[in-house]
Amino acid sequence: QLQLAESGGGLVHAGGSLRLSCSASGFTLDYYAIGWFRQAPGKEREGVACIAHTGGFISYADSVKGRFTISQDNIKNTVSLQMDSLKAEATAVYYCAAGRSCMGAVSRRNDFWGQGTQVTVSS
């Protein structure tokens, strides 16, 4: 079965850190552009970070630059999102997606989506 699965969400105080992981089953991530998205209650989904060409291309949304780091481990077939100095406005469901290319911090023409993981930052 071809699928993505996110893990690592949880509750953290403002200023804290979380590390999200996106794991693929049934296919290899290094052929895809992997994007992390988030959707807060009542808001549209937004692209947070995107990685392509096994790390040869990386882009972040302005709101997370300098605090979030996206990385790829082809041996483990995972893409991680290290989130530091978290702010309350980072509270959202975080999704990863496997697509054809990155346009800025957004992966495009996504073939696969994960089910999402909740991140809650308390102020």
User: Per-residue pLDDT for 1 more than 90?
Assistant: no
| Mean pLDDT score, 39-44 | 96
**Is the pLDDT assigned to residue 53 strictly greater than 90?**
no
- Percentages helix, strand, coil for the chain (3-state, rounded to 5) are 5, 55, 35
Per-residue pLDDT tens for 57-112? Answer: 999 999 999 999 999 999 999 999 999 999 999 999 999 999 999 999 999 999 99
Residue bearing the bigger pLDDT, 12 or 30: 12
Distance CA 5, CA 65 (A): 24
- Mean pLDDT along residues 43-50: 98
DSSP string, 80-110: EEEE-S--GGG-EEEEEEEESEEETTEEES-
